[in-house]
């Protein structure tokens, strides 16, 4: 008997919703399975805003994917009428030899990206909310900004449904297996058993549980996002006056933040980058403690003095880290005929959501992609490091 679906997508968060959209748009019969409700707040695709930028300090190899992702975000807005991206400009701040500044400049130069290097006086003149130290500089990128994760997921789910994808929520997958001879896959849930020619796994923080045979030692980290009401109100922090930023101190500690995008009572969001605690999706502590709020306020005070005026709220999410902090996007080495995986986005993946959906659709339907994804092979030595 022929499989019921062409592709089953396991997980409908950021990457899974994009994959479902791109697969359905190409005419595939798609079933999407999600253990929670649509656009939920239990994983990583929430929090109101995520930074997007092109001068990428992590590695210049990401830049071609970012350029395509920008195109796809614009198309997503046109196709759905949803507000998704706000390109308010961004500054990457720190000492000239910091990873944040040095790496951003390397990518900008290698790919001839428009940018400016700003000295402290110019930073303060353009952005009076920021108070860099005398030995700190910034790379300014006008095309940097933010994307809204909940709007993005909702838009991809909307388009997937319009193109015929069958989307099941509150239906967790209990197990799956490859059919004999690589003829497809069988996926089990408490409600039913489904068959398909291909399986796409976008597990987010559940990667260690669902992809134990991938050979990558994923680490799940609890991260905290904070919102503060600035002293004097949010007017100086609106997107046409205040940029997104990533700011690295002399110890290598990075914070990142956003303009105020949710009105005068919404405050401005800020967080530490890679200063989380190891957890699992089942053991993550959702309560944010006073000492955590104080640590964030203390880091902000000398840099953005008006921002830690009044704490408003906090929320948790999870990073799914690989040892080298690069992604895993591939045909599954143990199931190369039937299974595609996209995971391990290590806290910097959301800006790539649309292009990852496109890549996953390529891999699931044709077995290959024209996009450069060699960096994301799970068999790279750095991905398997203990």
CATH number where 313 lies:
3.30.9.10
Q: Which residues of the chain carry a pLDDT beneath 50?
A: 1
Say whether 252 counts as a known binding-site residue: no
Residue 239 maps to a domain: yes
Give the whole-angstrom CA distance, residue 48 versus residue 2. 42
Say whether 258 counts as a known binding-site residue: no
Say whether 150 counts as a known binding-site residue: no
Say whether 33 counts as a known binding-site residue: yes
Say whether 228 counts as a known binding-site residue: no
Residue 264 φ/ψ region, left for φ over 0, alpha for ψ in the -120 to 50 degree band, beta for the rest: alpha
Say whether 11 counts as a known binding-site residue: yes
Are 207 and 256 within one domain? no
Say whether 112 counts as a known binding-site residue: no
In the numeric block, which tokens belong to residue 147? 């994307």
Separation of CA 62 from chain center: 13
Domain boundary among 321, 341, 360: 321
Helix (H, G, I), strand (E, B) or coil at 5: strand
The dihedral through the CA atoms of 58, 60, 61, 64 has a sign that is positive
Q: Which of 212, 190, 211, 213 is nearest to 201 (CA)?
A: 211
- Structural domain boundaries, residue 188: 5-46+150-214+324-376
Are 195 and 249 within one domain? no
Are 251 and 306 within one domain? yes
Domain holding 173: CATH number? 3.50.50.60
Say whether 19 counts as a known binding-site residue: yes
Per-residue pLDDT at 1: 45
Per-residue pLDDT at 386: 56
Are 225 and 340 within one domain? no
Say whether 141 counts as a known binding-site residue: no
Per-residue pLDDT at 224: 98
Point out which residues pair with 162 in neighbouring strands: none
Are 161 and 301 within one domain? no
Residue 371 maps to a domain: yes
Task: Say what the pTM is.
Answer: 0.96
Per-residue pLDDT at 181: 86
Say whether 335 counts as a known binding-site residue: no
Are 240 and 270 within one domain? yes
Say whether 15 counts as a known binding-site residue: yes
Q: How many CB atoms lie within 10 A of CB 280?
A: 13
Are 237 and 133 within one domain? yes
Are 197 and 180 within one domain? yes
Instruction: Tally the C-alpha atoms within 13 A of residue 339's C-alpha that lie toward its C-beta.
Output: 22
Say whether 22 counts as a known binding-site residue: yes
Residue 240 maps to a domain: yes
Longest dimension (CA), the chain: 71
Per-residue pLDDT at 319: 96
Are 339 and 372 within one domain? yes
| Mode of pairing for the β-strands spanning 90-94 and 244-248 | parallel
Tracing tokens 């640590």 back to the chain, one arrives at 295
Say whether 7 counts as a known binding-site residue: yes
Number of domains in the chain: 2
Say whether 24 counts as a known binding-site residue: yes
Give the whole-angstrom CA distance, residue 98 versus residue 115. 17
The dihedral through the CA atoms of 195, 200, 203, 208 has a sign that is positive
Say whether 9 counts as a known binding-site residue: yes
Give the whole-angstrom CA distance, residue 94 versus residue 96. 6
Are 267 and 295 within one domain? yes
Residue 35 maps to a domain: yes
Are 352 and 307 within one domain? no
Are 136 and 262 within one domain? yes
pLDDT tens for residues 229-269? 999 999 999 999 999 999 999 999 999 999 999 998 899 99
């Amino acid at each position: 008997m022929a499989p019921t679906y062409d592709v089953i997508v396991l997980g409908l968060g950021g990457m899974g919703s994009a994959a479902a959209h791109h697969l359905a748009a190409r005419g595939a019969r798609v079933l999407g399975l999600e253990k929670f409700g649509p656009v939920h707040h239990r994983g990583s695709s929430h929090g109101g805003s995520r930074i997007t930028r092109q001068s990428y300090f992590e590695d210049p190899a990401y830049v071609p994917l970012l350029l395509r992702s920008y195109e796809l975000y614009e198309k997503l807005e046109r196709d759905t009428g949803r507000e998704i991206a706000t390109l308010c400009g961004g500054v990457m701040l720190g000492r000239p030899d910091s990873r944040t500044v040095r790496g951003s400049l390397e990518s900008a130069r290698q790919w001839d990206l428009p940018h400016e290097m700003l000295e402290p006086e110019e930073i303060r003149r353009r952005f009076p909310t920021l108070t860099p130290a005398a030995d700190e500089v910034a790379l300014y990128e006008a095309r940097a900004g933010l994307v809204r994760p909940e709007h993005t997921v909702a838009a991809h789910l909307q388009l997937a449904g319009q193109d015929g994808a069958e989307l099941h929520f509150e239906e967790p997958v209990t197990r799956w297996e490859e059919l004999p001879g690589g003829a497809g896959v069988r996926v089990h849930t408490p409600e039913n058993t489904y068959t398909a020619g291909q399986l796409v796994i976008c597990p987010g923080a559940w990667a260690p549980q669902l992809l134990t045979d991938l050979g990558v030692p994923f680490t799940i980290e609890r991260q905290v996002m904070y919102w503060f009401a600035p002293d004097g109100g949010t007017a100086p922090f609106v997107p046409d006056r205040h940029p997104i930023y990533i700011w690295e101190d002399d110890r290598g500690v990075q914070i990142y933040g956003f303009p105020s995008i949710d009105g005068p009572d919404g405050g401005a969001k800020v967080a530490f980058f890679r200063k989380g605690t190891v957890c699992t999706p089942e053991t993550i502590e959702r309560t944010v403690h006073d000492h955590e709020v104080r640590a964030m306020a203390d880091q902000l005070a000398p840099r953005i003095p008006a921002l830690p005026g009044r704490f408003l709220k906090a929320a948790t999410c999870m990073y799914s880290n690989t040892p080298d902090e690069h992604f895993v996007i591939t045909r599954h080495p143990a199931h190369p005929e039937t299974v595609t995986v996209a995971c391990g986005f290590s806290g910097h993946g959301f800006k790539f959501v649309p292009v990852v959906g496109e890549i996953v659709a390529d891999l699931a339907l044709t077995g290959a992609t024209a996009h450069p994804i060699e960096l994301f092979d799970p068999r790279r030595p750095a991905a398997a490091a203990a």
